[in-house]
Structure 1
């Protein structure tokens, strides 16, 4: 493969945001190069999100990246809320005009996009860590990176940072030009993968005096479950039996529902935080996905926000390539931030409504239960949850 020294769009980061952007640009006839610091195996095995909004699925379909998703993805028309040993189902299609979500792991989305990129897309370089991006305020920003033991440079018309919260590209923007808002939550998630068929047809979000729990799945034979735990918890300090016992206690509901148990194959602790940096563009450098924003996973927004960012960005680049106008690129940050802050609010709402804070009072708990009762009783409150969960319009 010939590695170009110049490209229209240099994309740093070969996760779902960078790969989807590359695919959309390829379909629009815009040249780009994707630089990923890790090797292919690592990227394809990185466990992250598993819920795709309607808009994300539409974007994958539009660029020919949804064949396997449509065959293997699990379509979900709702979620179940549990509290005080009762349950209530939120039906998405009836409350949103037909929108729904899909269970399809981020690892699978990444595998699909990598295969397409390597088959017929723009250059995708693994093990190509970027060391710096310079000249953001010029018309030819430069990416400095290493590949196969050689220091290289890539000049670009634009650079897009899809390299996550700890990435390099955000550092190309002068510190005084960025404004950051952040919240760190006083609890984490202990997440497990288990070789057991899911005990539910749709996701269960459980509020409990013992803490939050979530029952999800990766496939018809693999369950994905989460427990709220204190920050700093060691996943190895829990035995398998303790994890299953605690999950069973938090999911407890009146009736004959039963939590099936199986071998736990993976476990990890996930900290919870909200983070937004703005603007998402400075000069010829743009940020997308986790490089610009992070949400707690309770609302299933992270991957979907990244997808919506790059859909807006791909449209703006298509306009630029076709007409020479920068109007879409100039509006990119403001356009995306409107949706991002709504998703941040929804994720905060789901998190604070369902989790038990370490210093939580009886008053706080009654407010949570009142809110859950309201969702169960009011179609308007249920519709607000459903519309946000299934995904607000992009752009």
Structure 2
């Protein structure tokens, strides 16, 4: 009996397999999609320092390789209706606090690390049935294979089949306001790269706009106004993108999407027999602001492998659910700030923007608030 199966070969599942291998377990990685399947878009582009440290612990030099492929921007800037209200630059000699690159590149590096470690993997075979007992788990696949394992780390995404078959509900809410994300190709010079947040951008009808550089281009995130049709806004991107990204004379869109903020949390992070451990989007769905989704999922993955090794699955479920609750709370605070549905919230933002030239803390608040409060006690 293999010690652990990992279902799902996104960044969370690949990390879980590497973490399990690093602890001396015998993981098998199961993925429904073929290995050659193409995943469009940059998706999660921001890799936190804590995540890079996780990578280095489970596979020597992996964090450094991710850093080498990514882009580190050293300046963050916030504007209100075209006027700067805050700017902060990291020192050139400071430790790398993060790196920014497409999720597809991170996945490719993780797959190579799994191959180099000799981790068994099965691609293009959906896990169809899951039977959990006090003694282990039996997995049956579409192609007729059976895997008997001691534990399963379920990293099979937001529509997790394992979560559903374990009878665990995904509870929470979805925002009514739409957001538009557009990837724009560009060869960015690292010394010129900046993360920029615009409140009420005059070039796109007073909508909030986030610009994040990454290796290969820009992520442009636009908050729709009440009554907007996100798909129509994407269709008109050729009109407003030059005003949002004047640095790119002929912006070429490589991917776009319309989404709503999800704030959802699994009722439990493990099944009744403590044999199935939920991780990543199988356990929680979070808005992208603050880069909490993939980074918290990778922390889940490492913690899940450790819990299987130590026999502390119940503790995993309790601690990681507490972390997810904190992330959902922080994401909710960020969403409330961005939507500013109440007149008092809008007045407070305007007052902070007005005061920012004379009071730096007002500008700092405007810069930090769209990402929610920092999480220190339970981590990502």
What SS does structure 2 have at the residue aligned with 1:117? helix
Separation (CA, whole Å) in 2 of partners of 1:116 and 1:48: 21
Separation (CA, whole Å) in 2 of partners of 1:379 and 1:227: 21
For normalisation by structure 1, the TM-score amounts to 0.80
What SS does structure 2 have at the residue aligned with 1:203? strand
Aligned match for 2:281, one of 281, 287, 290:
290
Q: Is the Cα–Cα contact under 8 Å of residues 265 and 283 in structure 2 kept in the other structure?
A: yes
Separation (CA, whole Å) in 2 of partners of 1:202 and 1:134: 49
Against the structure 1 CA distance between its residues 193 and 391, is the aligned structure 2 distance closer, same or farther, given a 3 Å change threshold? farther
1:130 CA displacement: 1.1
Separation (CA, whole Å) in 1 of partners of 2:124 and 2:218: 32
Q: Give 2:344's aligned residue.
A: 363
Q: Give 2:109's aligned residue.
A: 112
Judge which range, 289-298 or 57-66, deviates more: 57-66
1:155 CA displacement: 1.0
Aligned match for 2:163, one of 170, 189, 197:
170
**Number of equivalent positions:** 361
Corresponding position: 1:183 with 2:183:
no
Q: Is the Cα–Cα contact under 8 Å of residues 47 and 106 in structure 1 kept in the other structure?
A: yes
What SS does structure 2 have at the residue aligned with 1:224? strand
Q: Is the Cα–Cα contact under 8 Å of residues 196 and 212 in structure 2 kept in the other structure?
A: yes
Separation (CA, whole Å) in 1 of partners of 2:318 and 2:303: 11
Against the structure 1 CA distance between its residues 125 and 153, is the aligned structure 2 distance closer, same or farther, given a 3 Å change threshold? same
Aligned match for 2:222, one of 214, 218, 227:
227
Q: Give 1:3's aligned residue.
A: none
Q: Give 2:17's aligned residue.
A: 22
Q: Is the Cα–Cα contact under 8 Å of residues 211 and 355 in structure 1 kept in the other structure?
A: no
Separation (CA, whole Å) in 2 of partners of 1:90 and 1:389: 17
Against the structure 1 CA distance between its residues 48 and 351, is the aligned structure 2 distance closer, same or farther, given a 3 Å change threshold? same
Q: Is the Cα–Cα contact under 8 Å of residues 92 and 387 in structure 1 kept in the other structure?
A: no
Q: Give 1:102's aligned residue.
A: 99
Aligned match for 2:317, one of 333, 347, 354:
333
Q: Give 2:197's aligned residue.
A: 205
Is there any run of 5+ residues in structure 1 with no aligned partner, and where?
1-5, 249-257, 321-325
Separation (CA, whole Å) in 2 of partners of 1:212 and 1:383: 12
Aligned match for 1:343, one of 307, 320, 327:
327
Corresponding position: 1:145 with 2:137:
no
Is there any run of 5+ residues in structure 2 with no aligned partner, and where?
none
Q: Give 2:148's aligned residue.
A: 155
Against the structure 1 CA distance between its residues 92 and 144, is the aligned structure 2 distance closer, same or farther, given a 3 Å change threshold? farther
Separation (CA, whole Å) in 2 of partners of 1:205 and 1:391: 24
Against the structure 1 CA distance between its residues 98 and 382, is the aligned structure 2 distance closer, same or farther, given a 3 Å change threshold? farther
The Cα RMSD (Å) is 3.3
What SS does structure 1 have at the residue aligned with 2:152? strand
